[in-house]
Structure 1
């Protein structure tokens, strides 16, 4: 698959739940991320319209990105993840398209801040920077460069400990 493929993006619909689970099961070594998404759907942290898919021209879901409510200290924020693409579609832009669409939808929802725990070589392309520079930390030990933050609105990113939705178990 060529890397200049044009991906379409849209919010998840109820009929996409099985496809989202399939994407997460294909992308990760265990069912942990697929189970997390299913648990988050039933959690107050779920925000309608921030579970985003990228699709081929046939409409089949390929890439996935999820934003759910978290807090940085007392400030409302979003956390990005899981983000998933089956191995055969990785490096095609399907994941990046889903992430960009999710961040755009969050901006349209009036959200200010996003945190992500992920690959430090991947997320800076979306504007994420090292969270520790803003005084952001987790309650668990993670590599400093893996925790990143982004301001969607241009407002200063608050410091504090990230509090995730209960299904994350952090």
Structure 2
């Protein structure tokens, strides 16, 4: 099933806490919805991404392909029930193998 991954995102420390990261995520998710995508996954800080509706992907029965704590691999349904009945492990494109 095709899906999206919110790629690594960072804001330089001197520009943090100004809403830049939140705006990037909000606008990115807005575009994903406009383009008709049904869900998106992210690896990141739970306290940040949960405010956009992300929940641990494991709550849908979906696992990360990377050895990360459960709470940092999250999913967001852009379309209600779009992950219903899906389980397994996400497979990222090879380009993500180089991300450290």
What TM-score do the two structures reach when normalised by structure 2? 0.89
- Aligned-residue CA RMSD (Å): 1.3
Q: Where does residue 51 of structure 2 map in the other structure?
A: 125
CA distance in 2, matches of 1:133, 1:124: 13
Partner of 1:167: 95
Q: Match for 2:70 among 135, 141, 144? A: 144
Figure out how many residues of one structure are paired with residues of the other and give that number: 96
Kindly report which structure 2 residues correspond to 1:27-106, keeping only aligned pairs within 5 A, or say none.
75-106=1-32
Bigger radius of gyration: 1
Separation in 2, partners of 1:143, 1:104: 27
Residue segments in structure 1 that go unaligned for 5+ positions in a row: 1-74
CA distance in 2, matches of 1:140, 1:124: 20
What's the TM-score once normalised by structure 1's chain length? 0.54
- 1:159, distance to aligned residue in structure 2 (A): 2.1
- Runs of 4+ that moved beyond 6 A: none
